[in-house]
Amino acid sequence: MWGGCGWWWWEVHETGRSEGSRPPPPTWSTTPLQCAPRHRGGPRLKSPPRRLFPSRRLLADKYKTKERETGEERKSLQVRVVSLAMALYVEAMSVLERAERKEGSLKSLVYRSSFKNVKQLYALVCGVLRYEPVLHQLLESSRLLRSEKRLDRQLAKLLVFDLLLGHGVKCGGRWKVMMKRHAAELGSALARMKVRHGVSTNLDLLTAVGGRAATKEVLLPRYARVNTLKTTVDDAVDYFKRQGFTFIGAADCAQTVDDLKGKRFARDIDVPEVLVFPPKTDLHDDQLYKLGNIILQDKASCLPAFVLAPPPGSQVLDCCAAPGNKTSHLAAIMKNKGKILAVDLSTERVATMSTQLLRAGVSCHRLQCADFLALDPHDPSYARVQYVLLDPSCSGSGMVGRMGGAADRGGDSGGVDGTGQTASSQERLRALSAFQARALRHALGFPGALRVVYSTCSVHQQENEDVVRQALADSAGAFRLVHILPEWRRRGLPVFPGAECCVRADPHEDRTHGFFVALFERNAGGGGGGDLVKPGGGGNGGDVDTAVPSLELRRDLGCPDGQNQEKEEEANGGGMETLVKSGVTEGGKTKKKRKRNKNKRKTCADST
């Protein structure tokens, strides 16, 4: 009855048996009542198919089910993508609002957000702030805000920027429908603005509307410092060759750096352990980076430790150390021999630094969460400090937006570019300069310090040459400036004798972030240094305000080192909460106080 192909097809497709094991036709030795599909006392069995082969309807229903499942998965994925894009605009709107209320620097607000893709968020916010004058006029000339009364102004700026000046609105849903409805009107308003100002490009329009020259975007190369604690430069070069990169030798000039295209890379001529890759080369997923064999650090950020050059076995003080890239560079130069005391005011940044140093294989460090200005230079624990690296908080005006091309704003540097500074930005520069001047005098006050390097990622004279001049005047001849990097063409501004000993880095000329480095060296017979912090300053240092910001203001002035932003956004300091509560960690472990028990001391006679 059920024999032949019909039984075999039903067994394969209904019971899941393999095609190779075709069962024999059933015999009628089984009680017929057990085969009845709906018999009251027997099992409920599926009825055999009526057709010998599956009908077209059965096959169609089967494939429709698969298509429906695939469609639901695709729709679910689209919903997740749309939700992620909408979350981007929501987070960007929140950052813009908090930056407008001066709740912190733009970088700190972005890194504090819960959005995972920090680069994308930072690029969007920087783009909106950069074209804010243009966006303001577009919103005023169009009817977008008048038609959409429930639309937030900051959200409108974000959507209009992506629609007209970016890469299109990324989200879906009602926001995208709304922008499509107003796209023609907004495009016409932008075209009328260009005709009215006689320009043809968006950059020229920004120059005309903003009232100042728009900074030309600079694409910086990707710098990677080889961590010599774990590998060698030659081994790293061989590794990248095996990955398909072409090594072209030493990058001896800016033109050589500009010629880096595709998968070509070079070795820096000034800092030998630095490799240079084309702009936008992403090495975050590379195995060497994950293992800590290379550290993504801008070339200019490598200069302070490179010129300080403490020999192995030295005692080094890293004053404002977080997030730890310069600390790991110092450890590599010292070959993990000696001691590095890394101090930072922020608990979170100390946790970040601990994670970075652990991955870099640094073992000669000692972390301390404290205010550097509160350290006593005459304390016996700092008596052996020979080398000091000071990279204090600064305006970050030398930062080139690798992620957006815009200067930091929103309570950080206020868009300061050396021209047209606002009153608030000038006031902030004075506060930063006062803090930096006192920090440098404090660093020079350690009695055993032989060399002190001072660096900032700022282009302002108030934070660089003026601070150095003030410190030299207060040192009363105990220190002198060292002429560092003789082959470097850009020197300090000639505002005092000896300023040419300092170096400046320029994004356009040197293909690095804007940077300033000065190296102090103790004069022979210059005395013990003593406390160089003198009330009222002296000498030629009248350009620097001696009023020091409070501890709370210094926390607000804190600006993460721009060259190490990739490190800060990726580091996870969750496991360091209990470690840094004690204030001091050593070599990645908590430093414990050992109590001596005199009663347990036994002499040889007692033991016998």
Active site residues: 457
Tokens 């059965």 found at: 58
Q: Is 371 annotated as a binding residue?
A: yes
Q: Is 599 annotated as a binding residue?
A: no
Are 119 and 397 in contact by the 8 Å Cβ rule? The answer is: no
What's the token pair of residue 275? 């490799």
Are 304 and 455 in contact by the 8 Å Cβ rule? The answer is: yes
Distances (CA, A) of 569 to 222, 311, 365: 17, 32, 22
Nearest to 496 by CA among 526, 511, 518, 514: 518
Contacts of residue 434, Cβ cutoff 8 Å, sequence gap at least 6: 544, 545, 546, 547, 548, 549
What's the token pair of residue 432? 């930063």
Q: Please compute, for residue 450, the number of CA atoms within 13 A of its CA located in the half-sphere on the CB side.
A: 12
Note every long-range contact of 250-255, with CB atoms under 8 Å and residues 24 or more positions apart, other chains counting: 251/276, 254/509, 254/510, 254/511
Report the Cα 333 to chain-centroid distance in Å: 24
Q: Is 309 annotated as a binding residue?
A: no
How big, in percent rounded to 5, are the helix, strand and coil portions of the chain? Answer: 45, 10, 45
Q: Is 326 annotated as a binding residue?
A: yes
Are 456 and 393 in contact by the 8 Å Cβ rule? The answer is: no
- Is residue 314 helix, strand or coil? strand
Are 277 and 262 in contact by the 8 Å Cβ rule? The answer is: no
Name the helix (H) or strand (E) containing 461: none
What's the token pair of residue 502? 């300092």
Q: Is 322 annotated as a binding residue?
A: yes
Are 523 and 479 in contact by the 8 Å Cβ rule? The answer is: yes
What's the token pair of residue 60? 């169609």
Q: Is 474 annotated as a binding residue?
A: no
- Is residue 137 helix, strand or coil? helix
CA distance linking residue 608 with residue 606, whole number of Å: 5
Report the Cα 457 to chain-centroid distance in Å: 15
10 Å Cβ neighbour count for 8?
16
Pairing of strands 338-344, 365-369: parallel
CA distance linking residue 167 with residue 164, whole number of Å: 8
- Phi and psi at residue 369, to the nearest 5°: -90, 100
Q: Is 92 annotated as a binding residue?
A: no
Q: Is 369 annotated as a binding residue?
A: no
Pairing of strands 294-296, 314-318: unpaired
Q: Is 323 annotated as a binding residue?
A: yes
Q: Is 325 annotated as a binding residue?
A: yes
Report the Cα 113 to chain-centroid distance in Å: 13
**Which residue ranges make up the annotated binding site for S-adenosyl-L-methionine?**
320-326, 344, 371, 391
